[in-house]
Structure 1
Amino acid sequence: MKTGEATLRRVYAMPFATVYPLYVKKVERKGRTTAELNEVITWLTGFDDDEVDKHIVAGTSYEDFFAAAHLNMNAPLITGVVCGVRVEEVEDPVMQKVRYLDKLVDELAHGRALAKILRS
C-alpha cells in the first residue's frame, strides 16, 4: 500500500513522546501494563526502557526513533490489519515499522498472550 507524501511527512515528524502516552492509555484501559508495553517496544526496536525514556525526553521523531532502532529479525512475521491497513503491504519502510508497532500494541490491548505477540 502506498502512503501519501503529506501523511508520510506528518508521521515522520511526529514525536514518539506524543504517541507513547496514547499507547500506555490504550493498553492500561484494557487491563495490560506499561511494563508489557515496554517489553513489546523492546522486542521490536531493541531499545531498553532507559533508551525509550531518552527518546521520549528528547522528543525524538518517529523517523529518527526507528532509524536508531535495531528491528527484530522476526518483525516481518507481524501481519494483519491495523487501522484498515494491511501491515505487510505498507511500502514505505518507516511507515511499515510504525504499523508494526501499532499492530503489536493492538494485539497487547486485545489480550493476546505476550509470547504470541513477540512471535516466539
Structure 2
Amino acid sequence: MRTLMTPITLAAFMLLTGCASAPNEPTLTLDTTKTPEQFAACVVPKLQGRSMSPTLSQPQRHYRIVVSSTVAADNVIEAYKAPAGGKIFIYERSLLTTGFGQAAKDCA
C-alpha cells in the first residue's frame, strides 16, 4: 500500500505544479502600441465584464493578469514593455472558449 501512495502523490504534485505558473509556450502572442499599464487598464475591465475575476500583479518589470479556474489550470496574460509599446503573451488553458483571449485581442 505504501509503495502505491508514492506514485500517486508524485502524480498529484506534478498536476498541481502547473496551476499557477505560465506554461512554456503561449497560446497567443500579440504586439501592441499600448504600454503594459495601458493594456492592463483596458483588459481587466473587459474580463470583469465577461464574469471573470482577474487578479492583477506587477512582478518585476511586467504586468501579470491571472484568471483562476476551479476545474482547469489558471489562464494567464503577461504584458511586457517593448520598444514600440508592449508585447503580450496569452496562456489560455481552458478547453472551452471563455473570451479570455478575445478580451486581450480587443485591447491590443
TM-score by length of 2: 0.31
Higher Cα radius of gyration: 2
Bigger strand fraction: 2
TM-score by length of 1: 0.29
Bigger helix fraction: 1
